[in-house]
Amino acid sequence: MRKLRRVLIVFGIFVLLFGFFFWQNNDLVVSVYDIDHGVEDEITIVHLSDLHSKMFGEDNQRLVDHVKEVEPDLIFITGDLIDQKNDEDDLSFKYIGDLRDIAPVYVSLGNHEYWSDLAEEVTIALEDMGAVVLDNEAIHMNIKGHFVQLIGLSDEAGGSDAKEELINMINVDMYNIVLYHQPLSLEMFADYDVELVFSGHAHGGQIRLPLIGGLIAPGEGLFPTYTSGLYEIEDSMMVVSRGLGNSVIPVRVFNRPEIVVVKLS
């Protein structure tokens, strides 16, 4: 009888842990940040990052439904839509077309697009779904009467120098928004008076500890600086998404997949 009780206790603990980890890695959370940059008519931006080919429902319908509820004016995706272990058969981006039906979608590529040697194929697949891929490119936009320059910088894994590319594209006479996968360069962006940067890559530190924050991130090691939320240096601000999927470390702890919403006013 005592042995059966122990087996039941162990089994119960296993079920609870499985349920906790499943919830932590599959339940979407929406984080909202209000940024006052003197915009008269509020602009709502949805920021997604680091999907790593994860699906939230068939064709990512749960993700699409959450985005639709926000009613964004723009959707930004900052890289790692796929994982380096993916091949060309995994480039199914139907949900990007669904997102494009909600609002314009702009994408910068991450390190996994390059590590998989599929950056070109990913770009073509995304553009076929109606997204705009900004690979070291800048475009001018009129959003609700506000003229904005949107810059997409390629991840350093693609062999480019982000600082050099930024210098060639920055326009000090416009409001500059940058999409850049890695959140390691806020100081650089502040040096060139970039108003707003969107990044991901850190996966929120993978495991988030109370009062401490993220535990580990690629390129930053233990207790990284930029893992989640809003960071500011002088007049430059950076929004870092905790991301949606996983890669080398297969689980998230106290760090649910995140949809970021920025309300620019």
What are the φ and ψ backbone dihedral angles of 48, each rounded to 5 degrees?
-120, 150
Q: Give tens-digit pLDDT for 119-151.
A: 999 999 999 999 999 999 999 999 988 899 999
**12 — pLDDT class (breaks 50, 70, 90):** confident
Instruction: Please choose, from the candidates 216, 261, 264, 256, the residue with its C-alpha nearest in 3D space to the C-alpha of residue 23.
Output: 256
**11 — pLDDT class (breaks 50, 70, 90):** confident
Q: Hey, is 196 helix, strand or coil?
A: strand
Q: What tokens appear for 237 in the block?
A: 């601000």
By residue count, the chain amounts to 265
CA distance 50 to 66: 17
* DSSP-assigned letters across all residues of 38-73: S-SS-EEEEEE---TT--SSGGGHHHHHHHHHH--S
pLDDT at 8 exceeding the cut of 80: no
Instruction: Please choose, from the candidates 23, 29, 93, 91, the residue with its C-alpha nearest in 3D space to the C-alpha of residue 60.
Output: 93
Please give the pLDDT value at position 10. 76
DSSP 262: E
Q: Taking the chain, what is the end-to-end CA distance rounded to the nearest angstrom?
A: 65
Q: Give tens-digit pLDDT for 19-71.
A: 888 999 999 999 999 999 888 889 999 999 999 999 999 999 999 999 999 99
Fold of 29-264: Purple Acid Phosphatase; chain A, domain 2 (3.60.21)
CA distance 261 to 47: 6
The structural domains of the chain, with segments of one domain joined by +, span 29-264
Percent of the residues in the chain that have a pLDDT greater than 70, as a whole number: 100
